[in-house]
Amino acid sequence: MNPFLNLLDTVDKTISVCISLCPVNCDKLPHLDVSVNNNIIFSAEINEKKTLKTTVELLEPIHIKIISKNNNAVVLQSIKIDDFEIVPNYIHYSDYVGSDGTAFGPTEYLGVSGQWDLIIDKPFYNWKHDVTGMGWFLTP
């Protein structure tokens, strides 16, 4: 029995993803499709602040996609991945393109219909190492 490798049997091998969204104007409710790694976790209008939760596998890359459908604005108030807050300090890793092709770039404000993406193209903690300035990341 190895004290460290045994951890692989007991460690929580999931990553929590928690997304909080809020409509900008309660008279103009945004209709959103929210998916994480191609699993749709929400598809409807939101009329108040809503928090969506899901999990992904520890070693899985993460793709959060939000499609805004009816030109009504929504704000991403918080995106926490294993309690690591993306908004606002790491929002620059996101991208937002309007449905007419306008590139809005990184933002937490989705003002018109379009697609917003946050792509973490490697295991989350490897990505976090890079973006939080942990220095060298050696690989075998």
Partner 1 sequence: MRIRSDGSFEACRWGHSENAFHKNNYGNIKDISPDIWFQNQMGEFRKELINGNGYDTEVCSECFKMENHGKISGRQRQLLKTGIQDTEDFEKTFAGSPWINEFNKTVTNKKTNLLPQDWQIDLGNLCNSGCVMCHPMSSSFLETEFKKIGILNEKQPTSWVRDSKALENFFDCIDKSPKIAYMHFIGGEPLIIPAFKKILKRLIDNKLNENITVGFTTNLTVWDEELVGILKQFPNLNIGLSVECLDPVNDYVRYGSDISTVKSILNQWRDFAKEFEGWLVQIRTTPTLLTIQKLDTIYEYAWDNNFSVESCNFLEDPDFLRPTVLPMQYRNLAIDNLQQWIDKNENTCLTKEHPVINSRHPDFTRQYLIEDAKSYINYLKNGEDESHLMGNLVDYLQKLEKTRQNSILDYIPHYEPILKSFGYC
Q: Tell me which of 24, 53, 59, 61 binds partner 1, using CB under 8 A.
A: 59
Q: How far is the CB of 128 from partner 1 (least distance, A)?
A: 8
Positive or negative, the Cα torsion across 13, 83, 75, 97?
Answer: negative
Regarding 101 and contact with partner 1 (CB under 8 A), the answer is no
Does position 90 interact with partner 1 (CB under 8 A)? The reply is no
Which residues, 6+ apart, have CB-to-CB distance to 69 below 8 Å? 30, 31, 32, 33, 113
**Which residues are registered as beta bridge partners of 76?**
21
Q: Does position 58 bind partner 1 by CB under 8 A?
A: yes
Contact residues for partner 1, defined by CB under 8 A: 2-5, 7-8, 11-13, 58-59, 82, 123-126, 129, 133-140
